[in-house]
Structure 1
Amino acid sequence: MGDRKTIYLEQGWEFVQKGIAKLIEGLPGPEFSSEDYMTIYETVYNMCTQKPPHDYSQQLYDKYRESFEEYINSEVLPSLREKHDEFLLTELVTRWANHKVMIRWLTCFFRYLDRYFIARRSLPPLNEVGLTSFRDLVYRELYAEVRDTIISLIDQEREGKQIDRPLLKKVLDIFVEIGMGHMDRYESDFEASLLEDTAAYYSKKASNWILEDSSPDYMLKAEECLKRERDRVSHYLHPSSEPKLLEKVQHELLSVYANQLLEKEHSGCCALLRDDKVEDLSRMFELFSKIPMGLDLVANILKQHVTAEGTALVKQAEDAASNEKAEKKDVVGLQEQVFVRKISELHDKYLAYVKDCFQNHTLFHEALKEAFEAFCNKGVGESSSAELLAAFCHNDVK
């Protein structure tokens, strides 16, 4: 078998270039027969395995990168620069998809470089070179405009407008993929701005709602906002954004206005407890469990409210005892028996709240216990509330 005919760089590259041109013209679905593909592959292979000075591995590696750069500068960037808003997003998705197709084909054409030349020289692999060219030339120029367009669309959706969610998903996937295994591009180039915008958006909403709405209505809105943000994550944001996004919403809607929500005169926590608003109290528990020290605030109001109700019962019993000065019957007089039954009913009522609305949380059991301790040590007639309760229980089980 005779020696192979030497393929010179200009001659061989001209042939490979024709294959690349055919690839570009056929995007996104170029058609190469197996014979076409093998001819290009063998040409590259032969140019890389010839004896020096005709081993053109380094030159072909450089031209591989230059092929992407020329294509991007001549076709991709001019097309993208003339588009804006959603048209820019659509074009970017198309160009990115085409670019990945081009990477797959060129990586196959130049596969010998990946297997031997690149491995020996510790150079970036072909796939990485292709992705880096798009990142450096396209992404870095356009990501800020793309990011701002996406955030604008998200805010429009928050206001009730229907947007193209699949399109946003595809664009945000570019932010992830361009990181080549890392999330830094998505996080710093998109997510940080989204979180800042989200905080500003809900801060403005909350400042109006807290003035206009009752606490139950406000909490319904907060609950719905959190649900919709979770829905956004499931449809087009990266899953890693969910806890950070929800934290921003919870801070602006709940943490900032926690005390005002709980203390609203006619609809705050005390009013809900007084009016037996079980569903609203359950919602309050769910929402306030998501913010730092939120449940402590609710439990403290429960404690104050129960203490106030119990103290009022003690005062009523004291007044009745001093007015009537009735003779004691057995151990506990009639008024004292009424008082003890009311205290027992009070405990049962709020224990039901603790179980049904506050999910048996330890904080609320403790709040209820401390509230009863506070007023049960007060006197009724000649006995303390605690003594009356003990005597009542003793007689009740006889």
Structure 2
Amino acid sequence: MSDRRVIALEDGWGNMEDGIMKLRRILDQEDAESFTSEEYMNLYTTIYNMCTQKAPYDFSEELYKRYEAAFNQYINSKVLPALVEKKGEYMLRSLMSRWENHKIMVRWLSRFFNYLDRYYVQRHHYATLNQVGVGCFRRLVYEEIKPSMKTAVLALIDKEREGEKSDRGLIKSITSIFVEMGLGTMDAYQNDFENDLLTHTSSFYTRKATQWIAEDSCPAYLIKAEECLHSERERVQQYLHQSTESKLISKVEQQLLEQYETELLEKENSGCAALLVDDKKEDLARMFRLFSSVPKGLAPIAQIFKTHVQKEGMSLVNSAEQAAAAMKGNKEKPTTSTSIEQVFTRSAIDLYDKYSGYVNDCFGSNALFNRALKEAFEYFCNKGIGEISTAQLLADFADKLLRKGGSEKLSDEKMEETLDKVVKLLAYISDKDMFGEFASKRLSRRLLQDTSASQDYERSILSKLKTSCGAQFTSKMEGMVNDVQSARDTQDVFERWVDEDAANRKTCIDFNVTILTHGFWPSWKPIQVELCDEFAQCVETFQTFYDAKMSQRKLTWVHQLGAVVLNVKYEAKTIEMHMQTPQCSVLLLFRNEKELSMQKVIEKTKMPADAVKRALYSLSCAKYKILNKSPEGKTVNPEDVFSFNEKFTDRSRRIKIALPPPDERKATIENVVQDRRHAIDAAIVRVMKTRKALAYNELVVEVVNQLQQSFLPEAKMIKMRVDDLINKEYIMRDEENSQVFKYIA
């Protein structure tokens, strides 16, 4: 086969020029007919042959240069003059069209010169044909007109920001050119467009913010800011590069929000505090959403929220103190914790419901706001109401919830919710041990007087307290509840024991005995009571039973905790009276006596004078006048004389004669203080035993950390306990540094 005919450079290039000229006519819409397959193959084959001829006829290098020259010639003669003469949006539209044509030209010529790309370019590590084509446009067109490009695009964006319509498709096409001019990087987009866009955006929103902050309320301003941020995000989605979004939004937030946060939050009648006062939850939620993206933007809002809740809480404290003062001035209604617990505790629960709702609904359960709510409640929940601590108020509130006939009639679901909130409020009270002591006494009273609304409720709140405060906190109270159940079982065994020998064991009256475990229940000092024969028989019978069953255990009878149901026959009707054992013992004296002085009652019952006085008061001076008192009056004195009121009657057939409870508050507080001394001693010894030697300040910190779940020990008390332990030789001062203590093994 004969050798292939050699194609001279000019001959071959002349053929290529014809193809390039046709392509230019097509792009300029002067020639509607595209390349046929034959034309395409002819041009491709020409390049192939010119590149594969043997030296010196291998024209690859020259063709590579002429490929670039073809672009340069077309751009300089046709493209650039058409662009330079136009301005603004018209220039952008022309640029978009020319760039699309240029890409078509690059695509076609790259196909014609494909053989160069596959072999010559790769062998010499030159720029690809596509890179060369784009590079020509960048160098000759882009570098020349990019300032006017940028100005025109920014003008269109400004126009849109002012509410006018703009061609988003055009803007997207132009921003794409900035990206493509980076030749695989974002350098051109960022340096030639994005930086100026961000600066321009800052200036635009600085002007807007200055105008709006002077004219608008805080909510109106925030609505505009939110709309602007939404528009900017949409703008990115529509025609800017995605990498711009975070930078653009940051600029808008900085100018609209960060710069004016203090002024916005403190705006008179419409700032954050005003929104809280007016319950503008939607505006608060918007404020949270907007400032959550601003560096440290939420901290001032959380502080205002905390201050507001503190103020609301202190208003509750002041209202409760005023109620207490008013009740104290009314001698008919002496001040007690239960008379003001509704004023404070229920209101505090409602306040918690309200502002925990704010935290969840408006502030996204954010940790800053949870902490603000916690600190605000801790602030006012530990103030106390006069002489009564909030721990006692909370215990009394829980007692009312859990008692039969309590002040609040709640469904099971609502009761569980309320008990949950009681426990949540307790978390804000530092004197949890004080609550525990009062709650324990109230629980004991409910259990012994059978006034619990439900054993399920009792166990429910104990379970919640156990989860919140630990097993040790509820261990004694759980022991009480278990004791009552155990006592019922013991009573069943006792009744069967009686039935086994009813002739000798049956008592003249029905009675129940509740066995209490000494370590679980509050300590009561048994008072002596001379029981009537019927009661004495009951005690003796049960004592015989118990000694036989539990020979290792000793029973101590606490008669003042006993309850009696007594049927009293009057002329009109029989009335069933519920009272405590000391009251009944006093009343039964009048079966055989017409009149008795207080002193005689003391002698016959052998009860302490204070207990007799309280019993006589409940029977003669309180709601029901079971006894007549001479002289009449509201106080009981030693010389007063009492007689049975035979004419007593009442609309009810069943009445409860309450015995005025002794003031347990002082004794309870003293018990707590004493327990705290022991707890601090134990904590100091534990710390020193572990550390061996420790500076005083560090010792205080560690002791507080150990005890703060139960109570917050005062530094003064810790110092007193340290001194006491030194005297007891548990610890000693360091000889060289008196502020350092050592453990004595």
Under a length normalisation based on structure 2, what TM-score does the superposition of the two structures give?
Answer: 0.52
Q: Match for residue 6 of structure 1?
A: 6
**Secondary structure of 1:4 counterpart:** coil
Matches within 5 A, 1:253-272: 253-272=256-275
Q: Match for residue 655 of structure 2?
A: none
Distance 1:53 1:128 in 2: 28
| Offset at residue 331 of structure 1 (A) | 4.8
Q: Match for residue 301 of structure 1?
A: 304
Q: Match for residue 397 of structure 1?
A: 402
Letter in 2 for 1:133: C
**Secondary structure of 1:383 counterpart:** coil
| Offset at residue 370 of structure 1 (A) | 0.6
Query: Of 316, 319, 323, which residue of structure 2 is paired with 1:316?
Result: 319
Q: Which has the higher helix share?
A: 1
Query: Of 208, 212, 216, which residue of structure 1 is paired with 2:215?
Result: 212
Contact persistence 1:354–1:360 (CA under 8 A): yes
* More relative contact order, 1 or 2 (CA 8 Å, 6+ apart): 1
Query: Of 343, 346, 367, which residue of structure 1 is paired with 2:348?
Result: 343
| Offset at residue 198 of structure 1 (A) | 0.6
1:45-103: CA deviations, max 9, x gaps? 11111111111110000000111011111111111100010010000001101101111
| Offset at residue 30 of structure 1 (A) | 5.9
| Offset at residue 120 of structure 1 (A) | 1.0
Distance 1:274 1:386 in 2: 28
Query: Of 340, 353, 374, which residue of structure 2 is paired with 1:369?
Result: 374
Query: Of 354, 357, 361, which residue of structure 1 is paired with 2:359?
Result: 354
| Offset at residue 324 of structure 1 (A) | 4.4
Contact persistence 1:332–1:392 (CA under 8 A): no
Contact persistence 1:23–1:30 (CA under 8 A): no
Q: Match for residue 388 of structure 1?
A: 393
Could you say which structure has the larger radius of gyration? 2
| Offset at residue 381 of structure 1 (A) | 1.6
Q: Match for residue 177 of structure 1?
A: 180
Q: Which has the higher strand share?
A: 2
Q: Match for residue 27 of structure 2?
A: 27
Contact persistence 1:178–1:185 (CA under 8 A): yes
Contact persistence 1:12–1:47 (CA under 8 A): yes
Q: Match for residue 16 of structure 2?
A: 16
Matches within 5 A, 1:119-198: 119-198=122-201
Q: Match for residue 65 of structure 1?
A: 68
Distance 1:337 1:105 in 2: 87
| Offset at residue 392 of structure 1 (A) | 2.1
Under a length normalisation based on structure 1, what TM-score does the superposition of the two structures give?
Answer: 0.96
Distance 1:277 1:88 in 2: 50
| Offset at residue 374 of structure 1 (A) | 0.7
Letter in 2 for 1:367: A
| Offset at residue 216 of structure 1 (A) | 0.8
More displaced stretch, 99-108 vs 320-329 = 320-329
| Offset at residue 335 of structure 1 (A) | 3.7
Distance 1:253 1:365 in 2: 27
More displaced stretch, 352-361 vs 197-206 = 352-361
Count of residues in Structure 1 that have an aligned counterpart in Structure 2: 398
**Secondary structure of 1:55 counterpart:** coil
| Offset at residue 42 of structure 1 (A) | 1.2
Distance 1:109 1:378 in 2: 89
More displaced stretch, 258-267 vs 26-35 = 26-35
Distance 2:33 2:247 in 1: 42
Structure 1 position 236 matched with structure 2 position 244: no
| Offset at residue 333 of structure 1 (A) | 4.6
Structure 1 position 44 matched with structure 2 position 40: no
| Offset at residue 179 of structure 1 (A) | 1.4
Q: Match for residue 624 of structure 2?
A: none
Contact persistence 1:269–1:281 (CA under 8 A): yes
Distance 1:333 1:397 in 2: 14
Contact persistence 2:328–2:335 (CA under 8 A): no
**Secondary structure of 1:149 counterpart:** helix
- Residues 315 and 330 from structure 1, CA distance in 2 versus in 1: closer, same or farther, beyond 3 angstroms? closer
CA-based RMSD of the aligned residues comes to 1.7
Structure 1 position 93 matched with structure 2 position 104: no
Distance 1:397 1:261 in 2: 47
Contact persistence 1:203–1:253 (CA under 8 A): yes
Distance 1:329 1:243 in 2: 66
**Secondary structure of 1:256 counterpart:** helix
Letter in 2 for 1:160: G
Q: Match for residue 273 of structure 1?
A: 276
Contact persistence 1:375–1:385 (CA under 8 A): no
**Secondary structure of 1:257 counterpart:** helix
1:244-288: CA deviations, max 9, x gaps? 111111111111111221121211111111111111111111111
Distance 1:211 1:375 in 2: 37
| Offset at residue 349 of structure 1 (A) | 1.3
Q: Match for residue 56 of structure 2?
A: 53
- Residues 21 and 245 from structure 1, CA distance in 2 versus in 1: closer, same or farther, beyond 3 angstroms? same
More displaced stretch, 10-19 vs 69-78 = 10-19
Distance 2:303 2:396 in 1: 30
| Offset at residue 394 of structure 1 (A) | 3.3
**Secondary structure of 2:240 counterpart:** coil
Letter in 2 for 1:359: G
Contact persistence 1:320–1:335 (CA under 8 A): yes
More displaced stretch, 334-343 vs 271-280 = 334-343
1:350-373: CA deviations, max 9, x gaps? 111112212222222211111011
1:151-209: CA deviations, max 9, x gaps? 11101111111111111111111111121221111111111111111111111111111
Contact persistence 2:338–2:396 (CA under 8 A): no
More displaced stretch, 82-91 vs 361-370 = 361-370
| Offset at residue 320 of structure 1 (A) | 3.8
Distance 1:259 1:323 in 2: 42
Identity %: 53
Letter in 2 for 1:211: A
Q: Match for residue 563 of structure 2?
A: none
Distance 1:393 1:348 in 2: 17
Distance 1:43 1:356 in 2: 74
Stretches of structure 2 that go unaligned for 5 or more consecutive residues are: 404-745
Q: Match for residue 252 of structure 2?
A: 249
More displaced stretch, 3-12 vs 326-335 = 326-335
Distance 1:381 1:14 in 2: 108
| Offset at residue 329 of structure 1 (A) | 5.9
1:94-136: CA deviations, max 9, x gaps? 1101101111111111111111111111111111110111011
More displaced stretch, 294-303 vs 223-232 = 294-303
| Offset at residue 339 of structure 1 (A) | 2.5
- Residues 237 and 383 from structure 1, CA distance in 2 versus in 1: closer, same or farther, beyond 3 angstroms? same
Q: Match for residue 561 of structure 2?
A: none
Query: Of 332, 346, 354, which residue of structure 1 is paired with 2:337?
Result: 332
